Every structure is written in structure tokens, then in C-alpha cells.
Structure 1
Amino acid sequence: MPPSRRRVVVTQRFFDQATIDYLEQAGCEVVQADLPPGQADGNLSHDELVRHLAGAAGWIVGHARVTRELMAALPDLRIVSRRGVGYDRVDLAAAGDLGKVVCIAVGGNHESVADHTLALMLAVGHRFRETQARMIGGDWSILLGTDLYRKTVGVIGPGRIGRSVVQRLAGFEAEVLVHGGSPDAGYAARSGVTWVDLDELLVRSDYVTIHAPLTPETRFIIDAGALARMKPAAFLINTARGGLVDDAALLDALRNGVIAGAGLDVFLSEADPAFKPVTQALLELPNVIATPHSGASSREGLDRTNMVAARCVVAVLDGGDPPAECVVADGRKG
């Protein structure tokens, strides 16, 4: 395929027409990868990605691994724009070395993920899965659930998503404990949260929800020791990244009543297939509510995130700068 200065390849599903129109009006040729049903770009091999991206100047990507080898094989590629905010699958150092720009879609999906987080809290606390399964089998007996109202909720990672969760928890009159980042006295006073260390958060919280980035420092921030410090009646929610939680330790804790339940949108097996049996075992537990990394996948959230990613692409192809908060690597600056 011959190169095109304005060719933009989209390897994500659910790319809305309004965003396509915006790119085309900006002089871009939009090519949507024709993926088989049920396949995401994270399943594409290096050779398949090279084939899809040949001649592209811009790439709007989902969960594909963006390696040094891949970027080196795509000399026309100027910008990798993630429809999302995580970038642990992108080799940022390589992007800088190879003169590429890497952007994330900051501000597009945090409200959707926050909604999803509260949904998981309510679903696992009120035992929706267990109740419906019993009803399907003809058992309409009542299982006692756990309120979110006036409970203590620990938020690990007070970024955009974490703070959107805090905002929603105000309606439940929850006491909110926060861990991570630099304590912000002004935000704490306005929102009524309290910054605490991780141990205090774990010991005191009825619900623990994780919204931290995955880094070497945060990997397995919830391990067997952390789970043992939580209340036996507490619930763990993870809508951030697989790898923040030691899923094998979580499985053991749930089986043995160390904690009461979990709401999970992400799994360690997404990055490490060796953990697929652990994921499957978690999915089969009655006290687990699970979704397939779909927290950001509302119609509205995807439309917003598509547009943020597209605006970053156009800015770079026009020779300008995307919003500073969206840029995680800029190899143009040497």
C-alpha cells in the first residue's frame, strides 16, 4: 500500500461516524481495520499489524502491543493515539527514539468508568448474580446484601476516574479514604475525602476500588497480604488494570472467606495468558461480578474518547501539538 501523508488507520471497534466525519473534513483518509468477529487489535500479530498499518501516518489503537519492532517497521507512522488512557502496552522510549508521538485520550472515558465502578459495587454488594441465578433455578428466597449507603470506601488512585467515583459516592453519604498521589488539601476539603496510607485504607474500608496506573511500583499493590488486612465483609473492585491485583491471591481469598466478594473489569490474564485458568476460576465464583474490560465502553464514552484520539491525530498531522495532558511521548522534540 503506498504511503499517504494523511492516512489514519483505526484498529478499534465502535468507531462512530461523527468522528470519521471529523477526520475526513480535516483531510484524512480513514481506514478501519476489517477484524474478524470477536477479535480485538490486541489479538493481532506483529505481521498482521504491519499489514493493516502500511502507509499510515496516524494510528488510533485499542489494546495492541506497540513495540519498538513494530514502530520501526512503520516509517510513515507519525502518531499513535490510544482510545483510552492506559499506555503500559506502548514502548514509550522506542517511540521517542523513533520520532513518533504517542497520545492517550484523557478526559474521554473517566465518567463512563466511574459509572461502571459504582455499578460493580452495587451489584456485588447486593448479590445480584447470586440472586438471579437462584431465581432461574426456581429459588426465590432472599439473600441479604450489603448497602453502599454510609459505608467507608477506599479509593486507590485519585486521578480523573478516582475523583469521578468520589463525586458519585457523595450521593451515598459514604466516608471516602484516598491513597496515592500527593495529598491535595484543597481537594480534600472540597470533597470531604481523607488521605491515608494504604494499610489504613485496607483495614477500614468496606469497599476498596482501584484506579491507579500499572507501574512497577503498583504491580500487585493488592496481594495476599493486602487482602488479609481487609475486612472479611469487604469487597474489592478493580476497573483499572490487570496486574494491580494478584489474581491468584484474590481467588484464594474469595474461596476462603478472607473478603466477601469482588467486582472485576480487568484481569491479569489479559497480559499473561498463563493466568487464564485463574481468571476462569474467578468468573465461576458466585461472589464475583465480572465484565470483559468494558468499563469505558458505553456509547457515550466511546464517542467522546474516539474524538479525543482523533483530535490528537489531526493536531500532529497538521504539525501542531495535541493537548499537553494527552501526550505521553513526543519523539519530534529530540
Structure 2
Amino acid sequence: MKIAFFDSKPYDVESFINKNEAYGYTLKFFEPKLNPDTALLAKGYEAVCAFVNDTLDNQVLDILEQQGTKVLIMRCAGYNNVDLKSAHKRIHVLRVPAYSPYAVAEHALALIMTVNRKTHKAYIRTKESNFTLRGLTGFDMHGKTMGIIGTGKIGQVMIGLLKGFGMNIVAYDPYPNEQASQELGFTYKSLDELFQSADIISLHCPLTPETQYIIGAHAISQMKQGVIIINTGRGGLIDSKALVDGLKNRKIGAAGLDVYEEEGDYFFEDMSIEGITDDTLARLLSFPNVLITSHQAFLTHEALNNIAETSLDNVKAYLAGEKLVNEVCYRCSSPECAKDSTGRCF
């Protein structure tokens, strides 16, 4: 089996080469992102491994199929950049559903602690021998209300961490997990109730047509004055222009973002020479109360190891004709999906 990797970074190469010793596949790593121009590089590769900012629309899938690609391995949990309807009955799409919920939740917590206590600003000041405290005042998290949107594995780990701070946790999920609610001690609320009551809101849901811009102008208008918004999910969960407006009128007290809706041209790259031409991203970076990290929440040794292992296991299952437990298709949430009876989406 030959596997072509796109948008490959040194940590990808290291983790996959190390893990591949147990599988023996032929791996080829390409630095460019996958798009209509670079898809030709995958000629002769039955498997293609892609990441969050690769383009996997109908045009790219056509090229891949014509060149012999049979299986697409997403080395991430999300797959909103894949045209699943176009891929159906042409290319199997598999993902890594849970590489490390701890990695993402812990990074989200780090963002909260940083924008609240402003440790990033204190670090810069003291490096310049400035030991003043003006503008560094935060608040006790103990006793405050935390709003969690999405109570899957990452959301539940996040709740467990926050309970250690003595926070009151309210959550929203279209598919409530009442057992988790009882065991972890949180309460499900409607979105409106969550927006109105939370001092901090953290997003841990996938990006779907239903969740796109779940944080928009109307949602922000319902929030508490000075609310903190954290997003380690997908950029499209937040309407960035509405976020800018909320920061400008000080409805939003601070924001910690590991993702951005138009991040594809910037995140994972060095833009220090070219500069940023995205006006909205540039505006967000200009706010003193906004902290942006470049989609690094997943980046721990444990997560990288799990991503490589699960990705290669996905390939192994495909080759062995086994049930593809991590396969996704546009009908997976419907009884029409054949996975229940055949073990594969087609």
C-alpha cells in the first residue's frame, strides 16, 4: 500500500514514520496542501492522507479517483472540508474520531486561563523589566458559570477539568447525554439559556450546516456583558465579523481562538514576511483581549501518536476488507447508510 500525505509538517513525518514500522506501508510526504493543482502528485497512490485545510471538493475527488485513489484518510476528527456526497460510492472516507480529547480540552483551558489572568501580557512586560500590574486584573473562576456547547468526548473532559475550579457548568447538545450529566454534575440548557447565563462559553461541537455561525450577532446580543468566548473546534462555528463587532462594543470581554473560519491560507504557515491580507483576521489580532493560536490544540505527543496509529489502522482495515468503524459518509446519520448491515458505507 502506497499512501500520499499532503500538508505534511515535520511532526507528521516523524510520528507516521515511527508508527509505520509496525505496518510496512510506503509513505510519501508532500508539503503543499491538497488542491486541484497538487492532486496530480497523488497519481498511483491508492490511499491519500489529508488534513483540516486541504481542499477535498468534487474537482479534487474527481482527480484522485481518476488516478486510482480508493481511500481518503483524514488525520483529524473533522471532515467538513470533504465533499462527502461527491465521495460516496467512489472513495472511502475515514477519520480519527478521538485522538486525544485531553489535548484539546487542556488547550481550551489554557486559553481561558491566559485571557482571564493575562499571563501572556505579563510575560512580555517582565521580559522588558516592566513589573507593573495595571491592566492585568482577572477574575476568580470559582463560582462562575461555564457554558459548554457540545458534550462529546472533548466537551466531557473539559467539564471534568472545570469542575476542579468549582465552576457551575451548563451545556447544550442536540443529543443530550443524561448519564454524563449526572456523573459529571452539569445541567443541560437551551442555547438561549446558555448564552444568557454563562460567564465563559467554550465550543466543542463539530462544524455542520446546523452549527455554522452558532455564535453570531443574535447569539452575542443575548450574552452577558464581558463574556469570554473560547473556540478550539472549527472556525466556522463563529461569525468572525460579529465577533469583531462584539469586541469593539465591549459586549465580549475576551476571546481565545485556536481556529478561524478562513484559516486555510495562514494557519500552519509562516506569514511574517508576506503579512496578513485578511482584514478580519488582522483586526482580531489587533485586539489586546484576543489570543489566537494556530490550530495547535491537538498538538501533543500523545495525540500525534494516536493520530498516526488510528490512521494506519484505518488503512489496515480497508485492505483487510474489515468493517470500517471510522468511515463517514453524507448518509451516516440516516438509516439509509449501509454501514449497519455491511460494515462499510458502500
After TM superposition, the score normalised by the length of structure 1 is: 0.88
Deviation at residue 8 of structure 1 after TM alignment: 0.9
* Corresponding residue SS for 1:226: helix
Query: Is 1:48 paired with 2:38?
Result: yes
- 2:307 and 2:164 map into 1 onto residues whose CA distance is 26
**Greater relative contact order structure (CA < 8 Å, 6+ sep):** 1
RMSD of aligned residue pairs (Cα, Å): 2.3
Partner of 2:2: 7
Alignment of 1:76-225 (within 5 A): 76-98=68-90, 100-136=91-127, 138-142=129-133, 143-225=136-218
Q: Which amino acid aligns with 2:183?
A: R
- 2:313 and 2:95 map into 1 onto residues whose CA distance is 11
Q: Which amino acid aligns with 1:57?
A: E
* Corresponding residue SS for 1:225: helix
**Cα distance change on mapping 1:55 and 1:229 into 2, 3 Å:** same
Partner of 2:317: 315
- 1:22 and 1:144 map into 2 onto residues whose CA distance is 46
Partner of 2:327: 327
Identical-residue share of aligned pairs (%): 30
- 1:97 and 1:83 map into 2 onto residues whose CA distance is 21
- 1:197 and 1:281 map into 2 onto residues whose CA distance is 31
**Cα distance change on mapping 1:272 and 1:230 into 2, 3 Å:** farther
Query: Is 1:26 paired with 2:19?
Result: no
Q: How many residues align?
A: 318
* Corresponding residue SS for 1:200: helix
Q: Which amino acid aligns with 1:268?
A: E
Deviation at residue 147 of structure 1 after TM alignment: 2.5
Deviation at residue 28 of structure 1 after TM alignment: 1.7
**Cα distance change on mapping 1:138 and 1:232 into 2, 3 Å:** farther
Q: Which amino acid aligns with 1:302?
A: L
- More deviation in 59-68 or 235-244? 59-68
Contact 1:9 1:31 in 2 (8 A): yes
Unaligned runs of 5+ in 2: 267-275, 330-338
- 2:28 and 2:265 map into 1 onto residues whose CA distance is 30
Contact 1:78 1:317 in 2 (8 A): no
* Corresponding residue SS for 1:262: strand
**Cα distance change on mapping 1:194 and 1:333 into 2, 3 Å:** closer
- 1:227 and 1:133 map into 2 onto residues whose CA distance is 31
Deviation at residue 193 of structure 1 after TM alignment: 0.7
Partner of 1:263: 256
Unaligned runs of 5+ in 1: 1-5
* Corresponding residue SS for 1:279: helix
- 1:213 and 1:85 map into 2 onto residues whose CA distance is 9
Deviation at residue 136 of structure 1 after TM alignment: 4.8
- 1:133 and 1:24 map into 2 onto residues whose CA distance is 43
- 1:217 and 1:29 map into 2 onto residues whose CA distance is 39
- 2:124 and 2:241 map into 1 onto residues whose CA distance is 25
Partner of 2:270: none
Query: Is 1:69 paired with 2:63?
Result: no
Deviation at residue 332 of structure 1 after TM alignment: 6.3
- Structure 1 residue aligned with 2:295, among 289, 293, 297? 293
Deviation at residue 153 of structure 1 after TM alignment: 0.5
- 1:162 and 1:265 map into 2 onto residues whose CA distance is 15
Deviation at residue 319 of structure 1 after TM alignment: 2.1
**Cα distance change on mapping 1:29 and 1:162 into 2, 3 Å:** same
**Cα distance change on mapping 1:333 and 1:182 into 2, 3 Å:** closer
**Cα distance change on mapping 1:253 and 1:275 into 2, 3 Å:** farther
* Corresponding residue SS for 2:213: coil
Partner of 1:3: none
- 1:263 and 1:279 map into 2 onto residues whose CA distance is 13
- 2:297 and 2:181 map into 1 onto residues whose CA distance is 26
* Corresponding residue SS for 2:38: helix
- 1:129 and 1:310 map into 2 onto residues whose CA distance is 38
- 2:84 and 2:244 map into 1 onto residues whose CA distance is 33
* Corresponding residue SS for 1:74: helix
